[in-house]
Chains A and B, each alone.
Chain A
Amino acid sequence: MTVEQAGRRGPVVHVDPVDAELELEPDETIIEAAWRLGYHWPTTCHGQATCTVCHVEVLSGAEHLVPPDDEERDALETRLPGAQRRDLTRIRLACRARATGDAVVRKKGVRPTQTVPIPPTGPL
């Protein structure tokens, strides 16, 4: 992955193992970019920074992610299962992390969705 790619405007977050390239729009979080680009992303709170199910492991480029705010830090410290045993400096919430430059993260369960991310009518 090269930093200077022709035509690129926004920062790109690469997601393993699905091998997705998410180009973030200004002010957009990782999960919002994924939804916009048609990926399913694990969550139950849908971006409220409460479930922590969306969390990613940052493999590189952590310095290109806007530092976590109090809400995100609190969610990771108090609600992430097994938080005590984990290195929280490498874990971020995809629903809060914004990027200023490129980064690589790992998240199991991310996959392209067949349908649009927000169904126009309910499933029932």
Chain B
Amino acid sequence: MSVTDERRKAAARPVPFGMRDRLRVPKERYYDREFFELEKEHLWPRVWQMACRLEEIPRPGDFVEYEICDQSVLVVRQPDGSVKAFHNACRHRATQLCKGSGRLPGGQIVCPFHGWRWNLDGTSSFVYGADGFAPECLRPDDIRLRECQVDTWGACAWINLDPDARPLREALAPAADVLDTVGVENMRVWWWKETILNANWKTAQEAFHEGYHVMATHPQLTSGLGEDYPYANTEYTAFENGHGRFQGRFDPSAGGVSQGRPAQAFLDRSRTLWEGQDAMTLERDLHVFRGMRNRVPPSEDFPTAAIKALSDYAQGAGIPFHPTPEGMRLWGGEVFLFPNFMVLPQFGNALSYRIRPHNDDPEWCRFEVWSLTMYPEGDEPGRAKLKGRFAPDDHENWGLIPRQDFSNIERMQRGLHSRSYEQHRLATEMEQIISNMHAELDRYLAG
């Protein structure tokens, strides 16, 4: 059954531990096995999900295996540059055809068990010992690989296991349109790492759905203001389709989120962000900003001048960075795409997160982090590769900011099991992206 707005009018199934209002989230949603199984049955097989970045499969014959719970899908670059997706199971005796990522030499998908083969478009190209099979077992339509829906947006391939799902852009609206204003299509991987967290996938991602935690979790980002650190200058929006956004309340005409900051404060914060995660603000940006240090008269706003310098630099270098007022409003904010993907843009860069259940366990998740940036045109980086899987407290591979976030996530999951605890109580405005996500999740589970 397809997921359409009509279905939402009549809930066909009762949802255990359902959302009764937008202010509370029952704790069982984060660890209950039955709830997790409902997600496996009614959410993941029907929702559009980010399967890979397109830089992972730059050339014809490149493939990526995308795993979600017990399902595995192959995303394959076609000779004409388009992308197809196939269920990753041999039509003979079910063997998984490919694992991980890589190239399909000679444009052939080969089963390791008995050597059946398929072309990149999923048509059968070879059956070893075909004489040994009854003809009805080898009908070409029957043995071609089973396709699943795939489309591209934001420099990523997205898949949907539901053949009747509505189109990608309809499902991603309006969040994708919002992200188009910062040029996500032009962003490429600077680095890509992952960690395994002892927490439900929703627990993990919800640590990134508000800026309310910055005061206590990331004191180094509060300019020493402590509890005076302002929380009300962030605007939160719950979108339809379960998506959400938060962004600063500021005049986007000039210096972006930092407008009005004195030069040294702006440079210090930029350096803290770069050192703290090597994302959103990169060394290149810092270099350009520092070059402006003694060149801006005190009567002018330093961040405005620094960002102008960055955009001039990009233009000279052929970097497709074209800040727009709408896009600049998003800098330092976040766009969440239901159910499990996030983009946090800043300048020509962004952080991006994808969170999936891990090992078929509601209490574990796989958390991937991409630092994205824009490269000069014609100077695209090579194939994107995962740098590795690193422990959440690995000082070498995670900056201070993500380590601070990760440590809270696992502690939250522990606290959920406290016999004293029943439900999250959410801030009306500041935590609405969380409740909005859960409300959409219940629509999937109910219908």
Q: How far is the CB of A79 from chain B (nearest CB, A)?
A: 13
CB-based contact B125/A123 at 8 Å: yes
Q: How far is the CB of A49 from chain B (nearest CB, A)?
A: 9
Residue of B106, B120, B124, B138 with most partner-chain A CB within 10 A: B106
Residue in A45, A120, A121, A124 whose CB lies within 8 Å of B115:
A45
Bound together, the chains give a CA A46 to CA B117 distance in angstroms of 9
- B112 contacts A by Cβ under 8 Å: yes
Beyond A122-B124, A122-B144, 14 additional pairs, beta carbon < 8 A:
A29-B105, A32-B106, A45-B115, A48-B112, A118-B107, A119-B125, A122-B123, A122-B140, A122-B143, A123-B124, A123-B125, A124-B130, A124-B140, A124-B143
Question: For the complex, is A50 an interface residue (Cβ under 8 Å from B)?
Answer: yes
The reply to whether B110 and A46 contact each other, CB–CB distance below 8 Å, is yes
Q: Does A68 contact B (CB under 8 A)?
A: no
Task: Indicate the size class of the contact surface on chain A.
Answer: 10 to 19
Q: At the interface, yes or no: A95 with Cβ under 8 Å from chain B?
A: yes
A47 to B115, CA, bound (A): 12
Asked whether any CB of chain B lies closer than 8 Å to the CB of A31, the reply is: yes
Please tell me if the beta carbons of A31 and B110 are within 8 angstroms of each other in the complex: no
Q: Which residue of B lies closest to A41 (CB)?
A: B106
27 contacts between A and B (CB under 8 A): A31-B105, A32-B106, A35-B106, A44-B115, A45-B112, A45-B115, A46-B105, A46-B117, A47-B108, A48-B110, A118-B108, A118-B120, A118-B125, A119-B119, A120-B119, A120-B123, A121-B140, A122-B123, A122-B124, A122-B144, A123-B124, A123-B125, A123-B126, A123-B127, A124-B124, A124-B127, A124-B140
With A and B bound together, what is the CA distance between A61 and B140 in angstroms?
A: 44
Which residues does chain B contribute within 8 Å of A44, judged by CB atoms? 115, 128
Contact with A along B88-118 (1 / 0, CB 8 A): 0000000000000000111110101001010
Closest to A121 in B: B123
Chain A interface (Cβ within 8 Å of chain B)? 29, 31-32, 35, 44-48, 50, 95, 117-124
Once the chains are docked, how many angstroms separate the CA of A45 from the CA of B117? 9
Instruction: Specify the chain B residue showing the minimal Cβ separation from A47.
Output: B105
Q: Write the chain A residue with the least CB distance to B114.
A: A44
- Complex: chain B residue closest to A96, CB-CB: B105
Enumerate chain B residues within 8 angstroms of A29, measured Cβ to Cβ. Answer: 105
B112 touches which of A50, A121, A122, A123 (Cβ 8 Å) = A50
Cβ–Cβ contact B106 & A117, under 8 A:
yes
A119 and B121 CA atoms in complex are apart in Å by 11
Set of chain B residues within 8 Å of A120, measured between Cβ atoms? 119, 123
Within 8 Å CB of B120, what residues of A?
A: 118
Residue of A nearest to B126 (CB): A123
Q: Which residue of A lies closest to B103 (CB)?
A: A47
A72 to chain B, nearest CB (A): 13
How near does chain A come to B114, taking the closest CB pair, in angstroms?
10
Residues of A within 8 A of B105 (CB): 29, 31-32, 35, 46-48, 95
Give A26 Cβ to nearest chain B Cβ, in Å.
12
Give the shortest distance, in Å, between B407 (CB) and chain A (any CB). 36
How far, in whole Å, are A44 and B115 apart by their CA atoms in the complex?
A: 7
B53-112 interface (Cβ within 8 A of A): 104-108, 110, 112
B110 touches A45 (CB 8 A): yes
A48 to B105 CA separation, bound complex (whole angstroms):
8
Q: Name, among B120, B124, B138, B144, the residue most crowded by chain A CB atoms within 10 Å (CB to CB).
A: B124
- Cross-chain contact A46 with B112 (CB below 8 angstroms): no
With A and B bound together, what is the CA distance between A40 and B164 in angstroms? Answer: 41
| Residues of chain A within 8 A of B140, CB atoms compared | 121-122, 124
Q: Which residue of A lies closest to B128 (CB)?
A: A44
- Measured between C-beta atoms, what is the minimum distance from B202 to chain A in Å? 38
> In chain B between 119 and 169, which residues have their CB closer than 8 angstroms to a CB of chain A?
119-120, 123-128, 130, 138, 140, 143-144
Q: How far is the CB of B57 from chain A (nearest CB, A)?
A: 15
| Chain B residues positioned under 8 Å from A46 (CB to CB) | 105-106, 108, 110, 117
Chain B residue at smallest Cβ distance from A122? B124
The complex places the Cα of A29 from the Cα of B61 at a distance, in Å, of: 14
Contact of B106 among A31, A50, A121, A123 (CB under 8 A): A31
Q: Which residues of A contact B110 (CB under 8 A)?
A: 45-48
A residues less than 8 Å from B130 (CB atoms): 123-124
- CB-CB under 8 A from A47, the residues of chain B are 104-106, 108, 110
Chain A residues closer than 8 Å to B126, beta-carbon distance: 122-123
Give chain A nearest CB distance to B79 CB in angstroms. Answer: 9
Q: How far is the CB of B246 from chain A (nearest CB, A)?
A: 43
